[in-house]
Amino acid sequence: MQISKLFQDRLDASSFSLSDIEGKLHSENEVREKYIKIKSYFKSHLHPSEIIAIKIVKDIDYLLCMLASMELGITYIPMKDDYPLNRVEQIQKLTEFKLLIDGDKLNEIYSTNHEQVNWSPIFSNPLYIIFTSGSTGEPKGVVISRKAAANYIDQLKLHFDHLSSDDNLLQITQFTFDISLNDVFLFLLKNCKLYFSKFSTDIFNLAYEIEEYKINFINTVPNNLSMLLNEHIISRSNYSSVHTWMIGGARFSAGLHTECVKHLKLSKIYNVYGPTECTIYSHFKKLNLDPTDLIDGNVSIGKPLENIKSCIYESEIIKNSFVRGELLLGGLQLMDEYIKNPTKTKSAFLEIDNVKYYRTGDISYQTESGEFHIVGRLDDTIKYRGYRINLLDIDSYIQKLDYVRDCVSIAVDDELLENKTIAYIILKEERLVKEIKKDLMSVLLDYQIPSKIIITQSYPVNTSGKVCKKTLKENFLAKGK
Amino acid sequence: MTEVEVLKIQEEIIRDLFDDDSIEVTLSTNADDVDDWDSLSHIQLISKIETHFKVRFALGELQSLKNVGDMTNLILKKLGS
């Protein structure tokens, strides 16, 4: 499905069905008028090769800016409205984006008329550039082509063919997280109604929205589903409207599988997997909600999507079933590059027998039936609330604070919350934890800020003199915190 | 029961939950003010409040809470105070 065709079909549809969380249905005319103004502004202020960044609150205006970019062939960069200035500057330096859409710019777009100009879209432009955590304090901009996204959209259409225009979707995830595009693409494909969630961490809010808006399809991370199935939430909630759950962005635990069997047996539940570098997701697994979904307590991620090649690698491609190695992904959904980072781009890929593969860093094996299971990570990257966090990245940002001598972060696994990040900091000058956290808000994104900061005088080291993270973790768990 | 009494009890519950007697709770206190107040601890807090005051909150009541002050008003409403 070409993205331009997707748009043509959608724009020919009888109405845009977008509602804000308060339930006020935007009139078709209001939405169309906003959309036309945005497109006119883009056409009159940009060259087709230029890039825009969107930095407003996640709501209908954000979506319209994204859709306008997609339709016009303009590459967009999603940001959160509360990104610290240094983050915006880092991204500007890497991408040289021409236009930043913030609240003021949006007001300008809506309040002025713009001259009509001819527009020759460049559909070979990337669709979007999304930034993920690096390991050195510099974010990596993942460049995704329209061709890669088009393959993914085709897979969505295939696997979620049962969705219809009667279905209600809930935009839960921030647009800076690529899984948010599942809702956007399904909204476009199926003409569903799309509601914008106000949920951030209060799970009661999310449960309320699901019931209130009679949501039929939920796309979210395992942690949120875990919370929704918590006895204190589910006992006062009603998810009977939800016929399909698409759960990905982090590990689908055996514990969560048990809860799904108990509470959601009548629903379709998909465990989905994939790095941002492989356009949202690369594997879908429709769970049977029985023991066949698991091996040794590990839930299957299923088979690769069409036009994606998966294999297991340990100095060579492993063909035998159940032998572990690094999961490599090839095929149509691979990113173009990390923008302006040829070194990292080169090291992210491996070429074997003239096939280019992305190195996921995930340890995996394949079963005889061709399904894959993820069993661990090769490096210091963890998932928290679905977001990728590199612990070394966190350390390098914290070490930039003047009063910090050293920082070592660990991740403590929690069955429900996936991971908590604990930062052990050695200070040059006395500071309260509260002050440190406040300073970190100006250099880290909200999900990167450690769950706990512990001020220490020294670190345990191993026989090689390296900081022993294992001992730090054991000590933390032993204290029962 | 008065607002002050309800607030005091919530402070005790929060201090106990987060194992920190130094936490000071006011009507404007919310999750941003307390370390480790995340989704799971929020659920635990609601459960402890319900158990202590012998009340039950509906989803619609909980989703609109912004701070301890809102919770205090809700508790008082449930208690018929």
Cβ distance of B39 and A233 shorter than 8 Å: no
Cβ distance of B63 and A209 shorter than 8 Å: yes
Of B43, B56, B65, the CB nearest to A233: B43
With a cut of 50, say whether residue A109 has pLDDT above it. yes
Q: Phi/psi at A419 (nearest 5 deg)?
A: -140, 145
pLDDT of residue A470: 81
Higher pLDDT pick, A290 / A447: A290
With a cut of 90, say whether residue A264 has pLDDT above it. yes
Residue A230: list chain B partners with CB under 8 A.
Answer: 40, 43
For residue B30, the chain A residue with the least C-alpha distance is A202
Higher pLDDT pick, B76 / A193: B76
Tokens found for residue A184: 């956007």
Residue B18: list chain A partners with CB under 8 A.
Answer: none
Q: What pLDDT, in 10s, does the model give residues A422-434?
A: 999 988 888 999 8
In angstroms, what CA-CA distances link B49 with A230, B38, B65?
Answer: 17, 16, 14
Of B36, B44, B47, the CB nearest to A452: B36
Average pLDDT in the A104-123 region? 90
Give the model's confidence band at A418: pLDDT under 50 very low, under 70 low, under 90 confident, else very high.
Answer: low
User: Is the Cβ of B48 closer than 8 Å to some Cβ of chain A?
Assistant: no
Contact A227, A200 (CB under 8 A): no
> How close B18 comes to chain A (CA, Å)?
10
Find residue A126's DSSP bridge partners: A145
Of B38, B57, B60, the CB nearest to A201: B38
> How close A202 comes to chain B (CA, Å)?
6
List, in order, residues 6 or more apart from A155 with CB less than 8 Å away.
Answer: A284, A305, A306
Q: Can you give chain A as a three-state secondary structure string?
A: CCHHHHHHHHHCCCCCCEECCCCCECCHHHHHHHHHHHHHHHHHHCCCCCEEEECCCCCHHHHHHHHHHHHHCCEEEECCCCCCHHHHHHHHHHHCCCEEECHHHHHHHHHCCCCCCCCCCCCCCEEEEEEECCCCCCCEEEEEEHHHHHHHHHHHHHHCCCCCCCCEEEECCCCCCHHHHHHHHHHHHHCCEEEECCCCCCHHHHHHHHHHCCCCEEEECHHHHHHHCCHHHHCCCCCCCCCEEEEECCCCCHHHHHHHHHHCCCCEEEEEECCHHHCCCCEEEECCCCHHHEECCEECCEEECCCEEEEEECCCEECCCCCCEEEEEEECCCCCEECCCHHHHHHHEEEECCEEEEEEEEEEEECCCCCEEEEEECCCEEEECCEEEEHHHHHHHHHCCCCEEEEEEEEEEECCCEEEEEEEEEECCCCCHHHHHHHHCCCCCHHHCCCEEEECCCCCECCCCCECHHHHHHHHHHCCC
> In degrees, to the nearest 5, what angle opens at C-alpha A183 toward C-alphas A80 and A73?
70
pLDDT of residue A137: 65
With a cut of 70, say whether residue A404 has pLDDT above it. yes
For residue B47, the chain A residue with the least C-alpha distance is A232
List, in order, residues 6 or more apart from B34 with CB less than 8 Å away.
Answer: B14, B18, B23
- Name residue, tokens 């724009």: A11
Q: What pLDDT, in 10s, does the model give residues B7-55?
A: 999 999 999 998 889 999 999 999 888 877 888 889 999 999 999 999 9
Cβ distance of B63 and A223 shorter than 8 Å: no
Give the model's confidence band at A11: pLDDT under 50 very low, under 70 low, under 90 confident, else very high.
Answer: low
Q: What pLDDT, in 10s, does the model give residues A278-326?
A: 999 999 999 999 999 999 888 999 999 999 999 999 989 999 999 999 9
Of A207, A227, A437, the CB nearest to B59: A207
pLDDT of residue A481: 46
What's the CA gap between A167 and A115, in Å, rounded? Answer: 38
Task: Please report, in angstroms and rounded to a whole number, the separation of the first and last CA atoms in chain B.
Answer: 6
Pairs of residues, one from chain A and one from chain B, whose beta carbons lie less than 8 Å apart: 54
Q: What pLDDT, in 10s, does the model give residues A69-101?
A: 999 999 999 999 999 998 999 999 999 999 999
Burial per residue of A123-139, b for 16 or more beta-carbon CB atoms within 10 angstroms, e otherwise: eebbbbbbbbbbbebbb
Cβ distance of B46 and A204 shorter than 8 Å: yes
- Name residue, tokens 């900091």: A425
Give the model's confidence band at B71: pLDDT under 50 very low, under 70 low, under 90 confident, else very high.
Answer: very high
What's the CA gap between A396 and A138, in Å, rounded? Answer: 9
- Name residue, tokens 């514990």: A255
Maximum mean pLDDT: which of A6-20, A218-232, A406-420: A218-232
In angstroms, what CA-CA distances link A286 with A150, A160, A244, A435?
Answer: 22, 11, 10, 46
What's the CA gap between A228 and A226, in Å, rounded? Answer: 5
- Name residue, tokens 């839930």: A299
Average pLDDT in the A93-110 region? 97
Of B40, B46, B58, the CB nearest to A416: B40
Average pLDDT in the A324-337 region? 97
Nearest to B42 by CA among B25, B28, B56, B30: B30
Tokens found for residue B78: 């449930």
What's the CA gap between A135 and A461, in Å, rounded? Answer: 22
Tokens found for residue B35: 């370390």
Of B31, B43, B56, the CB nearest to A230: B43
pLDDT of residue A277: 97
Q: Is the dihedral of CA B66, A59, A55, A224 positive or negative?
A: positive
Find residue A246's DSSP bridge partners: A219, A270
User: Is the Cβ of B35 closer than 8 Å to some Cβ of chain A?
Assistant: yes
Cβ distance of B57 and A452 shorter than 8 Å: no
Find residue A364's DSSP bridge partners: A325, A374
Cβ distance of A236 and B58 shorter than 8 Å: yes
Cβ distance of B43 and A203 shorter than 8 Å: yes
Interface of B with A in 14-33 (CB under 8 A): 31
Domain annotation for chain B: domains and CATH numbers: 3-79 (1.10.1200.10)
With a cut of 90, say whether residue A3 has pLDDT above it. no
Average pLDDT, chain A: 88
A254 residue type, one letter? A
Contact A68, A45 (CB under 8 A): no
For residue B50, the chain A residue with the least C-alpha distance is A232
Average pLDDT in the A143-156 region? 95
Cβ distance of B38 and A416 shorter than 8 Å: no
What's the CA gap between A330 and A351, in Å, rounded? Answer: 10
pLDDT of residue A396: 77
For residue B36, the chain A residue with the least C-alpha distance is A451
Mutant choice from A22, A199, A204, A221 vs B, greatest count of B C-beta within 10 A:
A204
Average pLDDT in the A358-375 region? 94
Question: In this structure, what DSSP letter does residue B36 have?
Answer: T
Average pLDDT in the A101-123 region? 91
Give the model's confidence band at A462: pLDDT under 50 very low, under 70 low, under 90 confident, else very high.
Answer: low
Contact A338, A348 (CB under 8 A): yes
Cβ distance of B62 and A204 shorter than 8 Å: yes
* Percent of chain A at pLDDT exceeding 90: 59
